[in-house]
Structure 1
């Protein structure tokens, strides 16, 4: 049994792969949207109470 590894990793089902990419993409889109709206306040370039 030379060269055989004791751990066997099963392949990922396509449903899990697609749903993980969808959730990851929606997370990044939401983060970029909030950065566009709140970015200057976060970096101190604008005060939140200024309109």
Structure 2
């Protein structure tokens, strides 16, 4: 058996070419964006995914001024039809 070591290229083709710096940097950038998105969505929706909160329950510390008081408005009355 000869003294030549076997070298395997797992899915790389075996041409011995190395990745360029731009491909390496772009891969790292897209990897960062992917993990940033995953952690951001976990922050926003993690409690719903884990079953700790229902999706229709909202955090009330933020949008308090945007909620309407529908009890004080006339909900049962329909708008007047002006075409008749």
TM-score, scaled to structure 2: 0.53
**Residue matched to 1:16:** 23
Runs of 4+ in 1 over 4 A off after TM superposition: none
- 1:3 corresponding residue in structure 2: 4
Instruction: Say if 2:29 is the partner of 1:26.
Output: no
Match of 2:44 in 1: 37
Larger Rg: 1 or 2? 2
Normalised by the length of structure 1, the TM-score is: 0.84
Query: Is the helix fraction higher in 1 or 2?
Result: 1
Structure with the bigger RCO (C-alpha within 8 Å, sep 6+) is: 1
Distance 1:45 1:4 in 2: 56
Deviation of 1:50 after TM superposition, in Å, equals 1.2
Give the superposed CA RMSD: 2.0
